[in-house]
Structure 1
Amino acid sequence: MRYLAAALLVLAALILPSQTRAHEASLGVLELREVRPGAFIGHWTMEPTMGADHVDLRMPPHCFVRLPELNCGEKGLVGPVTITNLGADMSAVLIRIIPLAGEARSYTISSANPVVSVLAAGAPTLQTWIELARTYVNYGIDHILLGADHLLFVLGLIWIVRGGWRLTKTITAFTVGHSVSLAAAAFGLIGVPERPLNACIALSIVFVGIEIIKQQRGEAGLTARYPWAIAFTFGLVHGIGFAGALAALGLERRLLPAALLFFNLGVEIGQLAFVLLVLALIWAHRRLDAVLPRWGDTLPAYTIGSVSMFWFFGRLLSVFAAT
């Protein structure tokens, strides 16, 4: 599989400087509590990593803003809310609106989706679904494309299983696995501490790296013999990691099924885009008929193992530091 070596080396160069906590969401939470009709007091319950003072927050035009006070008059807090200048390390900002009467509402803004429309009570259901879809599909795409550990695991599966129908079934099994655990964790049916889980995700990539080396030595590893079972099993682990990002947004339970659906759809869109990119690089390499040095055969496998071990030890240290 020499044609994958160049693609892997480029990918490794991009992800090696990444933080060891690749699946942990960096986000801010802005709470707006109504103190009298149309008037709100706002404060950050979780400040963005770059600081709340640097975030460009814009409220609907009819609202008068003098933080921490927000006055929207008789019309109330409805209309477009924009947050820009989130920064490269910011995943999202959750805006939580707590009215005098009725249920609290939550809206999520990301760098890919910097504008949300705050809906009035009794807003059309279709409008609510459209807003949720626009927000959480984009958030899912952001999360998967920034989740270098997940992408490296998928790349390892492509390397071992190779192309064709067998690869399609393996990627599908991985998708089913992380979809099941994502739903179970998001609804609180299962729970795993985030730091040990992230260490296990890194360890799963180490396992794939070892399996690639076994295959190059002519040995049939577990992934080569039972690709769907291995992909499904590790998909369960990765799915709980995805759920950590979704649960951290603090959504009310009535919005969770729709948000979960659209978030998972965004994750799958991002994953499919990555798989197609790798397959396109393989095709281009074959067309060029390039030949790498002999040592190029083993370098990608050791690169996968080295990067994932770096993540594993970094995350393991964070587990011990937390205790």
Structure 2
Amino acid sequence: MKVQLLRALMSMLLLILAVGSSSVMAHSTPVASLDIREGRSGVLMLEWTYYSTNSDQPPTVQWPAHCQERYPRLDCGQRGLLGVLSMPQIGEQYSAAVVKVHPREGRMRTYTLTGSNRSLMLTADGKLPWRTIASAYIPLGVEHIMLGVDHLLFVLGLIVLVSSTPVLVKTITAFTVAHSITLAAATLGWVGVPEKPVNAAIALSIVILAVEVLRYRAGQRSLSAQWPWLIAFGFGLLHGFGFAGAMTEVGLDAQNLPLALLFFNLGVELGQLAFVFVVLGLYHAHRKLEAIPPAWTSTAGIYAMGGIASYWFIGRVLALVV
């Protein structure tokens, strides 16, 4: 009864999540980017790049008190662009804003603002305290995994595949270690992989997992059922490249890169663990109430998972050639 309840509940969650996300082609985080180029006599030039389904305007900026904006010009006088810069709307229409400061001399500096960190202190050396970096990138990591329905479908498929708690811990750990490796490698520039083929391959990994789950439940021998951590690790390497796309999108400054990468990955893991705990919590709640979903959901959820992932895969492959 315990295994039957777990499979039925997980399959129904798969059905709800898959069908509810049938129009998703790839997870994305609405980000606005502001380029600031330093000119002469304290005059800077501004250029916005932005896209959001919730707004057709860039975020409002509150500049240091001595700066005056007449877009695309920003006059900060002899003091220059130093002081507190804030964007009160971040976290509403946009998940994040990337501020790129191009000084007349020296390298570009990059800053990221999020809903939990709407302001920053601009200094001459461009260094940020670790708390500021943490408050910016941990929420971004959590949001990215929560918007990444394809990643969540894969994790949920692993939970359906594994019925033992110790094996599930090893499997989720293997997935975490694997995507942490490729996330770091791609973000640091050690490995370069095009985003569109990666997204297509991620969708294909969900299809393969759905087939493996069906084979296992039909009583057939399955490599993924015998060593689920192996398939989790292998495909986790692939999913890590997908996470790296978000890091590239939000922008990174070289001197703050290690901490930004650490805290973004921590946010991804926190979001993933929260999802796993919610799923297991629902299972135990249904077990306590002795509420068993209809038997047809046990198989329908797996087919929905594979069907929606196949739809994503075809759409993403077509996007490569069109």
TM-score, with structure 2 as normaliser = 0.90
CA deviation after TM superposition for structure 1 residue 97, in Å: 1.0
Given the superposition, is the C-alpha separation of residues 113 and 14 from structure 1 closer, same or farther in structure 2, using an over 3 Å criterion?
farther
Query: CA contact under 8 A between 1:82 and 1:114: conserved in structure 2?
Result: no
Of the two structures, which has the highest relative contact order with CA contacts closer than 8 Å and spacing of 6 or more? 2
CA deviation after TM superposition for structure 1 residue 252, in Å: 3.1
CA deviation after TM superposition for structure 1 residue 298, in Å: 0.6
Deviation track 1:230-268 (CA, whole Å, cap 9, x = no partner) reads 111101000011111112334232222111111101111
Unmatched 5+ stretches in structure 1 = none
CA deviation after TM superposition for structure 1 residue 4, in Å: 2.1
Check if 1:93 corresponds to 2:97: yes
Given the superposition, is the C-alpha separation of residues 103 and 52 from structure 1 closer, same or farther in structure 2, using an over 3 Å criterion?
farther
Letter in 1 for 2:25: T
Q: What SS is found at the alignment partner of 1:219?
A: coil
Q: What SS is found at the alignment partner of 1:84?
A: coil
Check if 1:12 corresponds to 2:18: yes
Alignment partners' CA distance in 1, 2:43 and 2:303: 59
Query: CA contact under 8 A between 2:177 and 2:233: conserved in structure 1?
Result: yes
Alignment partners' CA distance in 2, 1:250 and 1:8: 33
Deviation track 1:141-197 (CA, whole Å, cap 9, x = no partner) reads 111111110011000001101341110011000000000001111111111111111
CA deviation after TM superposition for structure 1 residue 29, in Å: 1.9
CA deviation after TM superposition for structure 1 residue 129, in Å: 1.4
Query: CA contact under 8 A between 2:19 and 2:308: conserved in structure 1?
Result: no
CA deviation after TM superposition for structure 1 residue 216, in Å: 1.6
Indicate the residue corresponding to 1:120 in structure 2: 123
Indicate the residue corresponding to 1:204 in structure 2: 205
Indicate the residue corresponding to 2:3 in structure 1: none
CA deviation after TM superposition for structure 1 residue 91, in Å: 4.3
Indicate the residue corresponding to 1:251 in structure 2: 252
Q: What SS is found at the alignment partner of 2:129?
A: helix
Indicate the residue corresponding to 1:107 in structure 2: 111
TM-score, with structure 1 as normaliser = 0.89
Q: What SS is found at the alignment partner of 1:36?
A: coil
Alignment partners' CA distance in 2, 1:59 and 1:151: 39
Query: CA contact under 8 A between 1:42 and 1:70: conserved in structure 2?
Result: yes
Alignment partners' CA distance in 2, 1:183 and 1:255: 14
Given the superposition, is the C-alpha separation of residues 87 and 122 from structure 1 closer, same or farther in structure 2, using an over 3 Å criterion?
closer
Aligned positions of 1:29-108 closer than 5 A: 29-44=33-48, 46-50=49-53, 53-77=57-81, 78-82=83-87, 84=89, 90-108=94-112
CA deviation after TM superposition for structure 1 residue 25, in Å: 4.5
Letter in 2 for 1:283: H
Query: CA contact under 8 A between 1:48 and 1:93: conserved in structure 2?
Result: no
Query: CA contact under 8 A between 2:45 and 2:73: conserved in structure 1?
Result: yes
Query: CA contact under 8 A between 1:91 and 1:143: conserved in structure 2?
Result: no
Query: CA contact under 8 A between 1:79 and 1:119: conserved in structure 2?
Result: yes
Query: CA contact under 8 A between 2:112 and 2:251: conserved in structure 1?
Result: no
Given the superposition, is the C-alpha separation of residues 91 and 204 from structure 1 closer, same or farther in structure 2, using an over 3 Å criterion?
farther
Alignment partners' CA distance in 2, 1:298 and 1:249: 39
Alignment partners' CA distance in 2, 1:113 and 1:37: 34
Given the superposition, is the C-alpha separation of residues 299 and 146 from structure 1 closer, same or farther in structure 2, using an over 3 Å criterion?
same
Letter in 2 for 1:109: L
Indicate the residue corresponding to 1:188 in structure 2: 189
Given the superposition, is the C-alpha separation of residues 212 and 291 from structure 1 closer, same or farther in structure 2, using an over 3 Å criterion?
same
Alignment partners' CA distance in 2, 1:85 and 1:260: 21
Query: CA contact under 8 A between 2:9 and 2:298: conserved in structure 1?
Result: no
Query: CA contact under 8 A between 1:119 and 1:128: conserved in structure 2?
Result: no
Aligned positions of 1:131-210 closer than 5 A: 131-210=132-211
Q: What SS is found at the alignment partner of 2:45?
A: strand
Q: What SS is found at the alignment partner of 1:185?
A: helix
Query: CA contact under 8 A between 2:61 and 2:87: conserved in structure 1?
Result: yes
RMSD (CA atoms): 2.1
Aligned positions of 1:217-236 closer than 5 A: 217-236=218-237
Letter in 2 for 1:205: I
Query: CA contact under 8 A between 1:34 and 1:100: conserved in structure 2?
Result: yes
Deviation track 1:47-96 (CA, whole Å, cap 9, x = no partner) reads 324566353333234432221112234443321321516766x5432110
Letter in 1 for 2:121: V
